[in-house]
Amino acid sequence: MSITVVGSVAYDSIETPAGRRERCLGGAATYFSLAASFFTGVRVIAVVGDDFGPEQEAIFTRKNIDTCGIERAPGKSFFWEGSYLENLNEAKTRSTELNVFASFEPKIPDAYRDSDFLFLANIDPILQRRVRDAMPAVKLVAGDTMNYWIKDHRPALLEVLKGLDVLLINDTEVRMLSGNSNLVQAARAVIALGPHVLVVKHGEYGATLFHESTPKGKKAELRTFRAPALPLKEVVDPTGAGDSFAGGFFGYLASQPELTPAAWRHAMYYGGVMGSFACERFGTERLQQLSRAEIDNRFNVFRELTHLD
Amino acid sequence: MSITVVGSVAYDSIETPAGRRERCLGGAATYFSLAASFFTGVRVIAVVGDDFGPEQEAIFTRKNIDTCGIERAPGKSFFWEGSYLENLNEAKTRSTELNVFASFEPKIPDAYRDSDFLFLANIDPILQRRVRDAMPAVKLVAGDTMNYWIKDHRPALLEVLKGLDVLLINDTEVRMLSGNSNLVQAARAVIALGPHVLVVKHGEYGATLFHESTPKGKKAELRTFRAPALPLKEVVDPTGAGDSFAGGFFGYLASQPELTPAAWRHAMYYGGVMGSFACERFGTERLQQLSRAEIDNRFNVFRELTHLD
C-alpha cells in the first residue's frame, strides 16, 4: 500500500572524519522515500527551489517515487551545513537556510488521497497537523519531530501527537518530551499523549519499540521490542540515518497484508538495516545504489547478530 | 566446573534517586560470585577486615560459595561511597577507603587450584597478573579493568591482557584502551593485545561480544553478537550491574560441557539477565533473594524482547 510522506527535500553540505561533501541531495523526505521505496510505493509532498532539476528528480523517479507533490517555488531549496568532526553521534549545525521552505504550504495532490499510510517527517507541527487533517482516511499515521519543536512549539506538537499512531524519536527527544529520564516511564508518558506505538532510536545501539496493548479483560500493558544497530567499521556520514530507519520501518509495515506483532518486529529490523546502509556513504549515495538482495542479506546479518539459535 | 574469582569484597554507601543505603556488602567479587553461583561452583579470593563477620560470610555460604580464600586482616574492609543522583549511568565517587585492601596480597588456597575457570575482577593489574601466573592450568581466564588502570598503569595492564581469553569492559574503557572511538576498530585493536574475546558493556543498551575467529584456510574475521539490556521501570541502584553481568556470563560458560558459539551467545543473555536483576534493589539484595526460576523467566523475557519469531 502507498505511503505519502511530507517533509524536507534539501541540499546538505556535510563534514565528517571521512571527508567533506558539498550540496548533496538530502532532507528527511528524501532519505525516508528512498529507504521506503524498496518496500512499497512512495509519494512525496515537499517544496524545492530553482536549484532542483531533472538530475535530482531522477534520484526519486528511478525508484518509482511519485514526485508530483514536490512543488517548485522561485528561489533556492532548503540548505543545511553541518559537521560531525567532534562527535559522530551528533551533528553540529554550521548553517541553516530555510529559503523556499520558509513559506512551505503543503498541498496534497488528488492522486495521493487514496494513500493508506502517512508519514509526517520532522517539520513545523502546524504543517504536520494540517496534512494529517487533510488525509482523515489513512489507516496508519507515523511522525517524527525534534528538540526545537518539543522545546519551543509544544502546544502545536501536542496537537499532532493526538493524531499519530506511531511516533519515532530519539533518546534525548523522548526524555525532553516526557520530562522523565527513565526510558520506560518516559515511553508511558509519551504514549499517554496520543501515539499507541513509540519507537525510540538509540543511534549506534539500535532502537526500542514500545507498544501499549490491552489484552481482553486485562489491564493495559507496555510491550517492548528491541532491534540492534549494526556495529560498523566506518561511519562515513550519519546524516539521514534516522529518516532511513523510519523509511525502512514504515515502508516494510506498508508492504504487509496485516499489522501483526511479527510485522512490527520485522519492521524494526528493516529500520535498522536501512539506517545502517545510510551511514556507509555520504548523503543518499548508498541508498541510491542499493539492491533488494543486499537488504535481505543484511537483514540476515541483523538476525545472526541477535538471535540465540 | 568451578570458577575462582579474585577481587574486592567491600562495604558501599550508596545514594540514588530511589534512596540511600549505608554500608551494604558490595565489591566486584561479591556481585560476581553471587551472580555466578546460580550456574556453577564459585571460590573467592579477597581480603576483608574485622568488620566482616558471620552475617556477611553467610551471604556467600548460603549460595555454596567457597570463602576459604577470603583472608581476614586487622583493620577495616575496603569502603566506597558514591552517588547516582546526577546520573544513574555513572557513579560519582564521594569517598574511597582502601583500608585492608591497600596491602592485599592474593593467596590461592590449595583447594582452589583445580579450578578450570578464573575471573580477575577489577583490581591492580599487578595482582591480576600474579594470580593468573599462579594458576597456569585454567582453561579459560576472563578479566575486567577500569579507567584508572588504563590511564595510569598501562604497562602492567598490557601484561595482564596477554594472559586473558576474555576481557569485559565498558564503552568508555574500550575507547580509552584502544585510543579509537569506532567500536569495531577499537575492538580489533583490543583483541590484538591478547584476549580473543571482548565483551563491551553498553549499560542500559546491552552488550556486544566480539570474537576473533579464523575459519580454516580463511582470513581472520571478527564475529559479533549483541545482547540487550532490559528496559527497567525503575533502576534502584546500578552498583554492581557490570560485575553481575560478568558473573552471569562467566558462570553460565563454566556450566557448559563445551564452549560452542551457542554457549557464548546464551552466556551474553544470562549476563544481561543478572545485570538487570542487580539494578532492581540496593546492593546485592536482589541477587541474594533470587531464584533460578526467576532467572529462567527473565531469560525468556530477553528472548521475546529481541527475537523475530
**DSSP secondary structure letters along chain A:** --EEEE---EEEEEEETTEEEEEEEE-HHHHHHHHHTTTS-EEEEEEE-TT--HHHHHHHHTTT-EEEEEEE-SSPPEEEEEE-SS-TTSPEEEEEE-GGGGG------GGGTT-SEEEE-SS-HHHHHHHHHH-TT-SEEEEE--HHHHHH-HHHHHHHHHT-SEEEEEHHHHHHHHT-SSHHHHHHHHHTTS-SEEEEE-GGG-EEEEEEE--TTS--EEEEEEE-----S--S--TTHHHHHHHHHHHHHHHSSS--HHHHHHHHHHHHHHHHHHTTSSTTHHHHH--HHHHHHHHHHHHHHH---
Q: Does B193 touch chain A (CB under 8 A)?
A: no
- CA dist., res. B200 & res. B192, Å (int): 15
Show the cell assigned to A106: 503543503
Locus of grid cell 580473543: B196
B 248-267 residues with CB below 8 A of A?
262, 265-266
Query: Cβ–Cβ of A305/B224 closer than 8 Å?
Result: yes
Give residue B267's pLDDT.
98
Show the cell assigned to B97: 577507603
Task: For an interface test with B, give the residue of A84, A182, A222 to mutate (most B CBs within 10 A).
Answer: A182
CB contact set of A229 (below 8 Å; sequence gap of 6+): A202, A203, A204, A205, A206, A207, A272, A275, A276
Q: What is the mean pLDDT of residues B217-221?
A: 82
CB contact set of A178 (below 8 Å; sequence gap of 6+): A185, A186, A187, A189, A190
Å between B5 CA and nearest CA of chain A = 27
Nearest to A308 among B183, B224, B303 (CB): B303
- CA dist., res. A155 & res. A153, Å (int): 6
Nearest to A306 among B187, B202, B306 (CB): B306
pLDDT in tens, B116-149: 999 999 999 999 999 999 999 999 999 999 999 9
Q: In chain B, at which residue ranges do the beta strands (DSSP E only) sit?
A: 3-6, 10-16, 19-26, 42-48, 66-72, 78-83, 92-97, 117-120, 140-144, 166-170, 197-201, 207-213, 221-227
Nearest to A305 among B225, B233, B234 (CB): B225
Q: Does B301 touch chain A (CB under 8 A)?
A: no
Give strand pairing partners of B79: B11, B97
> Apex CA A229: angle with CA A226 and CA A230, to 5°?
140
Give residue B262's pLDDT.
96
pLDDT in tens, B282-300: 999 999 999 999 999 999 9
Q: Does B269 touch chain A (CB under 8 A)?
A: yes
Alpha-carbon distances of A220 from A196, A212, A217, A291, B156, rounded to whole Å: 11, 7, 9, 41, 54
- CA dist., res. A31 & res. B189, Å (int): 33
Question: Coil, strand, or helix at residue B124?
Answer: coil
Tally the residues of chain A. Answer: 309
Å between A130 CA and nearest CA of chain B = 35
User: Phi and psi for A62 in degrees, rounded to 5?
Assistant: -60, -25
Query: Cβ–Cβ of A306/B181 closer than 8 Å?
Result: no
Q: What is the mean pLDDT of residues B201-228?
A: 90
Q: What is the pLDDT along chain A (309 residues), one digit of tens a residue?
A: 899 999 999 999 999 999 999 999 999 999 999 999 999 999 999 999 999 999 999 999 999 999 999 999 999 999 999 999 988 888 999 999 999 999 999 999 999 999 999 999 999 999 999 999 999 999 999 999 999 999 999 999 999 999 999 999 999 999 999 999 999 999 999 999 999 999 999 999 999 999 988 777 888 888 999 999 999 999 999 999 999 999 999 999 999 999 999 999 999 999 999 999 999 999 999 999 999 999 999 999 999 999 998
Q: Does A213 touch chain B (CB under 8 A)?
A: no
Q: Which residues in B lie closer than 8 A to residue A183 (C-beta atoms)? A: 204, 231
Give residue A283's pLDDT.
97
- CA dist., res. A281 & res. A238, Å (int): 9
More confident residue, A284 or B213: A284
Q: Which residues in A lie closer than 8 A to residue B187 (C-beta atoms)? A: 231
Query: Cβ–Cβ of A204/B183 closer than 8 Å?
Result: yes
- CA dist., res. A193 & res. A159, Å (int): 9
Question: Coil, strand, or helix at residue B223?
Answer: strand
Show the cell assigned to B12: 558501599
Q: Does B235 touch chain A (CB under 8 A)?
A: yes
- CA dist., res. B250 & res. B67, Å (int): 19
Nearest to A307 among B185, B206, B307 (CB): B307
- CA dist., res. A43 & res. A33, Å (int): 8
Neighbours of A64 (CB within 10 A): 9
DSSP tag of B112? G
Is the pLDDT assigned to residue B215 strictly greater than 80? no
**Average pLDDT over all residues of chain B:** 96
- CA dist., res. B21 & res. A127, Å (int): 51
- CA dist., res. B124 & res. B144, Å (int): 11
C-alpha of B214 from chain center? 27
ipTM score: 0.93
- The b-or-e profile of B57-87 (16+ CB within 10 A means b, else e) is bebbeebebbbebbbebeebbbbbbbbbeee
Neighbours of A65 (CB within 10 A): 22
Question: Coil, strand, or helix at residue B205?
Answer: helix
Query: Cβ–Cβ of B305/A226 closer than 8 Å?
Result: yes
Query: Cβ–Cβ of A204/B224 closer than 8 Å?
Result: no
